[in-house]
Structure 1
């Protein structure tokens, strides 16, 4: 497997080089040169594997044998040893037609752990093997930061700086990041929203002199390895559900703001997994819903919602999907992304929109529907959803046809978003690791949403 850029100016590179490059040097996003095609016989064999065994089998399609077999197996074992459930991503049945894929059993109680625990191990592995310095830079709408920090805190040869929007993440999300006292961690609390943080990150990575001088490495889903790790749980979930009910195709409903998690589902489908609809669940920040329904990609006014991890207007992974749906034409993608930068809008043809709608459905879940879904599911099943997972369930119930089987992704533990749970009149018991956060000292630096100020703070930290 070799990797290329969506914008066509990065030649074929290997797995480790793609991992370390993060954002492609031409400003695009790295993707596999060919999407692996999995024969039905292989799918049948995989259906009998445990989670970490399945991780290994899928990863070998992407790693080019650049990591020795036993090293890769050890990296995988170390990555998932911190999860609280033996299945890593277990399935829970809500009804005969609706299942939950629980992705919150990792150390920070969020789906980001599935990819970022592996990426932390891989960064440490590369740093030791190559004797290089690695400075990780990322932005978070809440969960990525905590998961990334947990993956590399205290590790030799690695420093990590995370930007989060000041006052726009949940209290638990903030505490998970800012109570970490390891000296290789810097939290910057940025005046602005997540889109501001993400834009600054991408601009700093696009400055190749700055990137090289500071040994920058990406932890956000601009790094394809995030997508690679998330592909696995689509296969695993399908095998758990279809194996029990004999279904041919299964829908997936995915709460998403940055288009990374649902793009992993799209990749799984392209690889041969029998997926029906990919249902995209958004909140009031519904740029992606509008694209699926109208073929127009244009940010609106930023809204703070009960599901803050989805409070995103500019989805960083959208370019990857655009590349595929518009015929894998890198010159066209480069032109469109430059147009978007200047005009703030992309529109696709009716033919392309038909292709989009053949694969995706979408529903924007407003605040009242989100809270009512939490209350209703708790009353009917005694299962407590976090607000992001509630958006996924609401979208599944809106978009799936009667008789279809849908797996909805439960992306976070409800304890991370008690602000929304309290509004439903529900009192929950915090898991002990989360309860303990409230008694710890915080360490963060508030900073203006200015690229130069942030660049200066980053350089001082990385070189200190």
Structure 2
């Protein structure tokens, strides 16, 4: 298994080099040269595996043996030892046709822990093996930053800097990042939105001399290892369902902002997991819904919503989907992405829209509908959703073809992380102890303008002090 770029100008590289590169040095995203196929017999053989053992099987299809099996198994075991559920990701049945896969039982109560706890351990493993310092740099709309910091805080050979949009994440998300006072952690609070943070990060990774000088590594979903780690839970959810449910077809409803979570499901489907519908759930920042429904990919006015982790206009993983949609034609992808950069939008022909809609269904959830979904499911099932998970449920209700088999909706965060929205409904919840204790801790962050120059100055100071 080798890896190349969606833009075709990265020489084929191995698993570890792919992991370390993060963003392709040609500005594209790294993808496998071929996607392994999983047979029905393999799925049957995996049906009784624990989450950890299933992840070992799937990752072994991609790692080329570059990580000895014993080491890979230990990395996986260590990554999920801190999850509060014995199942790691429990599947909750709400009715005969709807199941909820709870992805929030990790240290920061968000689905990002599923991939980032592993990635943090893998970075530490590689840093030790190669005797290198790893400088992780990322942008977050809330959950990625908290999870990434949790995964590497205090670890030898690793430093991490996370950019988050000032005042545009939930209070708990902010506290989970900024109450960490380890010397290897820098929080930059940017006066802008998530897309501004993400653009600075992308420009820094595209600056090859700067990236090389400071050994920059990616933790965002631009890193294919994160996509691969998230693909595992689609297999796991499918395998937990009763045989009768699987026989009638399995669909997924997926809250997504950066296209990473749903692309992980798309990857699982391309590997052979028998998924019928992939329902893409967005909030009022609905560029992805308009892409699926109308064939127009165009950022429009940013809106703050009750689901801030999805308050994203430019989805970094869109290019990976475009690569496969374009028949793995790197030149065609490059042409379209250059057009998007120059014109600010992409328009797809009617026959292309028809093909997109064979892959994806999309639904945009407004603020009022999001809150109403939370209230309805609390009243109907006694099940409290966070606003992002509620978008997934609302999309299942509004766009899912319920005659097409059972649905698994992804619950991406614990409701305690977004109590501001929950309290609007008059619902009181008890915070987990690890969240409650955050409110008494001092914050450590640096507020900066939306300026690449200012961010670079902070980074160079951070690296100099910790050299």
1:152 counterpart residue number: 152
SS in 2 for 1:94: strand
1:216 counterpart residue number: 216
**Which is worse superposed, 342-351 or 290-299?**
342-351
| Residue 281 of structure 2 corresponds to residue 265 of structure 1 | no
- What residue ranges of structure 1 are gaps of 5+ in the alignment? none
SS in 1 for 2:241: helix
1:206 counterpart residue number: 206
1:450 counterpart residue number: 451
Contact 1:282 1:391 in 2 (8 A): yes
SS in 1 for 2:247: coil
Paired positions, count: 464
Distance 1:153 1:356 in 2: 41
1:235 counterpart residue number: 235
**Which is worse superposed, 221-230 or 326-335?**
326-335
- Cα distance per residue 1:312-338 (max 9 Å; x no partner): 000000000000011111011111111
- Cα distance per residue 1:25-68 (max 9 Å; x no partner): 00000001001101111011011211000000000011110001
Distance 2:302 2:245 in 1: 42
Taking the TM superposition and a 5 Å limit, the aligned residue runs for 1:233-382 are: 233-243=233-243, 245-382=245-382
SS in 2 for 1:201: helix
What is the CA-CA distance between 1:401 and the residue it aligns to?
2.1
Distance 2:20 2:54 in 1: 24
TM-score norm. by structure 1 comes to 0.99
Distance 1:448 1:460 in 2: 16
What is the CA-CA distance between 1:463 and the residue it aligns to?
2.3
Q: Quote the RMSD (CA, aligned, Å).
A: 0.8
- What residue ranges of structure 2 are gaps of 5+ in the alignment? none
Distance 1:18 1:268 in 2: 19
SS in 1 for 2:19: helix
| Residue 430 of structure 2 corresponds to residue 434 of structure 1 | no
1:82 counterpart residue number: 82
- Cα distance per residue 1:219-275 (max 9 Å; x no partner): 000000000100000000011124363434211000000000000000000000010
1:186 counterpart residue number: 186
Distance 1:276 1:36 in 2: 19
Contact 1:242 1:250 in 2 (8 A): no
Distance 2:35 2:143 in 1: 28
- Cα distance per residue 1:96-132 (max 9 Å; x no partner): 1111000000000000000000000000000000001
Contact 1:165 1:189 in 2 (8 A): yes
Distance 2:110 2:402 in 1: 30
2:119 counterpart residue number: 119
1:177 counterpart residue number: 177
Contact 1:248 1:274 in 2 (8 A): no
4+ residue segments displaced more than 6 Å? none
1:412 counterpart residue number: 413
